[in-house]
A and B are shown apart, each in its own frame.
Chain A
C-alpha cells in the first residue's frame, strides 16, 4: 500500500523556470492538501482540494497553481520560480473532513531555487 507518493524528492531550479510537483494517493481520499515547510516555521497551507474538479486557496497560494482532474492526483505547479519558493513541500490526504480523520503525508519534495 503506497499511501501518498510525491515526486521528485529533490530538485534545484533556476529563477524563472517552471516545474510541477507530483502527488498521488491510492487510498481513494477525497481531501488533498499541499503544504510548504520553511526552516523554523510551521507548515503552511498552499492549496487544497475536496474532490476531483474542486480546488481552493490556502494561506500562501501566490506563485502556485493546482489542478485535480482525478481523485488520485493533485499536482502543484510553479510557473516562475523565485528564491522565496525554496522550501520543503508536503502533500497530504484524508478521507473526509471530520474530527476523527487522520491525515496521511507524503515524503516531501525539497526544492531549491537559485
Chain B
C-alpha cells in the first residue's frame, strides 16, 4: 500500500509570499493529483501529473518520479488561496480502487 506524506501539515504566510507544499510517496505510481479543499467546501482538482511540471496561473506543480516526490508552489500568494491542499496518488498496479490520499496541508494566507 502506498504511503503518502505531506509537509508541512500547517502553514501560515503573509500575502505575496512564495509557498511550497511537498508530497512524497513510497511506491511507484501512474499519476499524482493535487486537490484543493476550502473550509466547509468540496474538493476541487488542481493538477494531475505523471511527469515534469504543470502551471495554471499562479500555481505550479512538479513531480520527480525517481525521487517519488512532488511539490506544489503558489506564487504571489493571496488570502483566497487559504485552503487545505491534498496530495493523492493513483497506483500503477491496474486496480480500480481509487486514490491514496495524504493528510493535507492547511494553508492560511494573512493579508
Contact = CB atoms under 8 A, between A and B. Distances in A.
Interface of A: 31, 33, 35, 40-45, 48, 50, 56, 58, 90, 92, 97-108
Contacts of B95: 97
B86 A48 contact: no
A100 B42 contact: no
Contact of A45 (B43, B90, B98): B98
B42 A106 contact: yes
B48 A102 contact: yes
A90 B41 CA distance: 11
Interface stretch (B11-19, B55-63, B71-79, B99-107): B99-107
A42 B103 contact: yes
Given A42-B4, A42-B103, A99-B50, A56 B43 contact: no
Interface of B: 4, 30-31, 33, 35, 41-45, 48, 50, 86, 88, 90, 92, 94-104
A103 B99 contact: yes
B42 A103 contact: no
Contact of B102 (A42, A101, A106): A42
A33 B41 contact: no
Contacts of B104: 42
Contact of A100 (B48, B94, B97): B48
Contact of B43 (A58, A101, A105): A105
A92 B43 CA distance: 9
Contacts of B35: 105
A56 B97 CA distance: 8
B4 to A, nearest CB: 7
A107 B45 contact: no
Given A42-B104, A90-B43, A102-B33, 17 more contacts: A40-B103, A41-B103, A48-B97, A92-B43, A97-B94, A97-B96, A99-B30, A99-B90, A100-B31, A100-B50, A101-B90, A102-B45, A103-B33, A103-B98, A103-B99, A106-B42, A108-B43
